[in-house]
Amino acid sequence: MRQAVMTAPGKIEYREVEVPLPDKHEVLIRIRNIGVCGSDIHVYHGMHPYTSYPVVQGHEVSGEVEAVGSGVTGFAAGDKVTFVPQLVCGTCYPCRHGMHHVCDSLKVMGFQAPGAGQEFFAVPQDLTIKLPADMSLVHGAMIEPMAVAVHALGRAGEIKNRRVLVLGAGPIGNLVAQCARGLGAAAVMITDLSDVRLAKARDCGIAYTVNTSREELASAVSRHFGPDKADVILECVGVEDAIAGGIAAARKGSVLIVVGVFGTKPTVDLGLVQDRELTLHGSLMYQHQDYRKAIELVAEGKVTLDELITDTFAFDRYQEAYRHIEESADRTLKVMIEL
């Protein structure tokens, strides 16, 4: 089978390797779709601090069961599946307390462990997630980033009937806004500096979109949400201006969730956090139940995914997909690799 290997930053080679044989408790998946995310781009540029080369990428994935190990139950050939790309120790404090996604020894497939950038991939049964038979495999590859969004919103508690502000209209920010709406938020507003991304958000049904290069954030929040402002604010960019602006625009008692990955250490006004009794949470990846909720939201038609997928490339054009993202960053949201 063919395997795409990133041998160095910016360089992908194809190798012929044997199709893996599933162990007793593994599921062999024929890979059909692979999404490219921001973290993949960091690896492509040699800027991911926890990834070394060579590496096989691919963690936003869908496919079909090709075969199962002798001890596997609940899966059969032909089932549509995705998987949770987290390898954990099971013994550290987070693992012992139900927080496997922040395991002290966490390895993520496609970064610290081999990913699914190949024609077939063997995954432990307990990480394999069955998709509805009527779900498209393209949508199946979007469940992983949707789970990021679901988990982030879950950090704020109940979303129903709350006013939600999302900072950043990239793929994750868009999905956070859509999932908030799907979970019953009273109102959702999303901000960005890109009119293209804000137009995509409107295409996905987000009513309030604001370009903060033209309107001050606090003013826009008051205009759309009224004097009580936002109940929940999610930072989905990973830049200082966004998190600092979110804190400044928060009302007393707001909840802020940090979803974006910061490349530098931001300076923020903790005096406002203290004075306004703001609640500040981090959010990393997801848990299994977030996958199940993401699948439920898609199955119920509460999110729009096709508008987010701006480009599709064949597997043998993997590197071309990265170049396209580089050259068309403002016009690109989710790029899909198709096998």
Every domain of the chain with CATH number 3.40.50.720 lies at 149-282
Of the candidates 168, 160, 209, the residue with the CA atom closest to the CA atom of residue 189: 209
Q: Is 90 exceeded by the pLDDT of residue 330? A: no
Average pLDDT, the chain: 97
Residue 64: per-residue pLDDT: 99
Residue 274: per-residue pLDDT: 98
pLDDT tens, 237-262? 999 999 999 999 999 999 999 999 98
Residue 86: per-residue pLDDT: 99
Every domain of the chain with CATH number 3.90.180.10 lies at 2-142+305-338
Asked if CATH classification 3.40.50.720 holds for the domain at 149-282, the reply, yes or no, is yes
The SS3 call for residue 80 is: strand
Residue 183: per-residue pLDDT: 98
Question: Could you tell me where the DSSP H helices lie in 250-338?
Answer: 270-275, 288-299, 318-327
Give residue 52's identity as a one-letter amino acid code. S
Please state whether the predicted TM-score (pTM) of the whole model is above 0.95.
Answer: yes
What's the gap between Cα 185 and its chain centre? 20
Q: Is 90 exceeded by the pLDDT of residue 209? A: yes
Residue 263: per-residue pLDDT: 82
- 2-142+305-338 CATH fold: Quinone Oxidoreductase; Chain A, domain 1 (3.90.180)
Contact 95, 103 (CB under 8 A): yes
Residue 105: per-residue pLDDT: 98
Q: Could you write out the DSSP letters of every residue in 104-161?
A: TT-EEBTTTB--S-BSEEEEEGGGEEEPPTTS-HHHHTTHHHHHHHHHHHHTT---TT
Confidence of residue 26 (pLDDT cuts 50, 70, 90): very high
